[in-house]
Amino acid sequence: MILQKTLLKIADEVRHRIGRDLHDGLGQQMTGASIMIGALKSKLEKNIEPDMSEIQNIASIIEQAIETSRLI
């Protein structure tokens, strides 16, 4: 019975950690990328040429998000 309670507690802690990692890490990265893509879309709709650094920043955030998802 004690072992079962310990295992349930550990499983619950792991679920909380994964949820926190998804929300605080991956969720933030994806939100940032979404906001940057929205700004890029707005520029393109106005025929304003974006800086290559904007596209590189978005790509970097997406790469970080991929790495975060692998770690989780």
Question: Mind listing the pLDDT tens digit for each residue in 4-44?
Answer: 888 889 989 999 888 887 888 889 999 999 999 999 999 99
> How many Å apart are CA 37 and CA 44, to the nearest integer?
10
Q: What is the mean pLDDT of residues 38-55?
A: 94
**What pTM, to 2 d.p., does this model score?**
0.72
SS (H, E, C) 6-40: HHHHHHHHHHHHHHHHHHHHHHHHHHHHHHHHHHH
> How many Å apart are CA 26 and CA 24, to the nearest integer?
6
Structure tokens at 69: 């998802």
